Amino acid sequence: MLGMLTEAGFPIAARPDDAECVIVNTCAFIDRARQESIDTILELAKLKQSGRCRALIVTGCLTQRYGADIMTEMPEVDGILGTSDLPRIVDLVRQAANRHDWATSAPPGYLYDATTPRLLTTKAPYAYVKIAEGCDMGCTFCAIPQFRGTHRSRPLGDIVREVEALAKRGVQEAVLVSQDTLAYGRDLPGNGDVGDLLLALGDTRMPWIRPMYLHPAHVNDRLVEKWTRARIVPYVDMPIQHADDGILKSMRRAVTARRMKDIVAQLRAAIPNVTVRTTVLVGFPGETAAAFERLLEFVDDVRFDRLGVFTYSPEEGTPSPDYAGQVPAEVAAERAGVVQERQDAIAWERNRKLIGDVQDVLVDGPSEDPAFAWEGRTVGQAPEIDGVVYLRDAGPVKRFTPGRFARVRIVEVEGYEFVGERG
């Protein structure tokens, strides 16, 4: 959207306070995300009273799902757009003062291509590349397919062109995202395969290529073989969601705990120094104390390097809110805390072993912590979700350059964050 607006001649303001038109791009994945989106809309709406802002536009999943309600209940919103028809943002901004709501009615189906203008808003040296959109998996807790539509992949050559163009602009890391990354290509003529995409991307000049969100049900030997040959970072992000077979079945995850354990072992054996990240969902209906215990045992056994935990949120239009055995929210929150505590102990112990290691670090830019000049990431730290490496310049010679790689010695570890010096 920013690329299209820039091409249409709209300058992009650095801060919301300076903007005449503010666009809030929302998430509607779970209740917490919706609340954050609504809070942000209300917060930014204040700029219409006190600042330069004359129009507030809301886009993304929240409006795709609840567009009509937002137009009726939030008079401060002047225009909305869902997840489709994104090029219409230009007209919407032009006409924002007239409070238009027409742009939300399109069903989800949008997919950009390499020719879509793209504005990188941050100075960070990484960029997200969406390789496919939508999902056909039908997990019983997930509303995403309702507002992102069915799975559809971008052509392989188009993604390669975009990644090559980003590399030419100085981007050092392409983070490949989609709702169901391993389903990439299945819908393309000739029955494509994500392994072929990864192999093809290895021929670009992009230094780091990081695929995210790997559904374990799609992993097979053929994929692992291509994965290990592809020039991608040794990082696997595989959401397991749960490890009790009854719960997995009821979530419709199409995979068992045993199989997931084997997959992690297979990937660890095949990819040297791989970092394995996962996500779990606690408090799903039917999660008894015994089922939860099985999840904890799994986490203890597999010893993931990183783990994110969510509590179940009953989503309208999905089957699971009608299931028996709904878990009280306080129990789910308590369980989330228990999983996180277990995982912290595992991850911190592993991280401490990294002290003294020399690794390549991609310097993202100035540090948010005033005690350090810069911050960057090792290959095992994905942007925004994992920790960072804080960096200090040591004299004029040993300085770091943002957007570049540096050899860094890890000298301190504090939980998920590292401190590094020029190695």
Residues at the contact surface with ligand SF4, assessed by CB under 6 A = 135, 137-139, 142, 144-145, 179-180, 215
Nearer to ligand SF4, 28 or 388 (CB): 28
Q: Which residue has the tokens 């939980």?
A: 415
Nearer to ligand SF4, 139 or 171 (CB): 139
Element at 57 (helix H, strand E): strand 55-60
- Least distance from ligand SF4 to the Cβ atom of residue 237, Å: 12
Nearer to ligand SF4, 161 or 249 (CB): 249
For every residue of 292-341, DSSP letters joined together read HHHHHHHHHHH--SEEEEEE----TTSSGGGSSSPPPHHHHHHHHHHHHH
- Least distance from ligand SF4 to the Cβ atom of residue 321, Å: 15
Tokens of 123: 């100075």
Nearer to ligand SF4, 143 or 299 (CB): 143
Between strands 389-391 and 374-377, the pairing is antiparallel
Nearer to ligand SF4, 142 or 408 (CB): 142
Nearer to ligand SF4, 241 or 359 (CB): 241
Nearer to ligand SF4, 72 or 220 (CB): 220
Rg, the chain, Cα only: 22
Query: Are 127 and 169 contacting, i.e. CB atoms less than 8 angstroms apart?
Result: no
Between strands 55-60 and 21-26, the pairing is parallel
What are 60's strand-pairing partners? 26
Burial class (CB in 10 A: 0-12, 13-18, 19+), 349: exposed
- Least distance from ligand SF4 to the Cβ atom of residue 379, Å: 25
Q: Which residue has the tokens 């991608």?
A: 232
Nearer to ligand SF4, 217 or 274 (CB): 217
Burial 307-345 (b: 16+ CB within 10 A, else e): bbbbbbbbbeebebeeeeebbeeeebeebbeebbebbee
Between strands 405-414 and 358-366, the pairing is antiparallel
- Least distance from ligand SF4 to the Cβ atom of residue 223, Å: 16
Q: How far is residue 420's CA from residue 124's CA, in Å, rounded to a whole number?
A: 19
Nearer to ligand SF4, 27 or 137 (CB): 137
- Least distance from ligand SF4 to the Cβ atom of residue 220, Å: 17
Nearer to ligand SF4, 138 or 170 (CB): 138
Query: Are 315 and 277 contacting, i.e. CB atoms less than 8 angstroms apart?
Result: no
At 372 the three-state DSSP class reads: coil
- Least distance from ligand SF4 to the Cβ atom of residue 255, Å: 11
- Least distance from ligand SF4 to the Cβ atom of residue 182, Å: 10
Query: Are 279 and 310 contacting, i.e. CB atoms less than 8 angstroms apart?
Result: yes
Beta carbons within 8 Å of 377's beta carbon, 6+ residues apart: 361, 362, 364, 383, 386, 388, 389
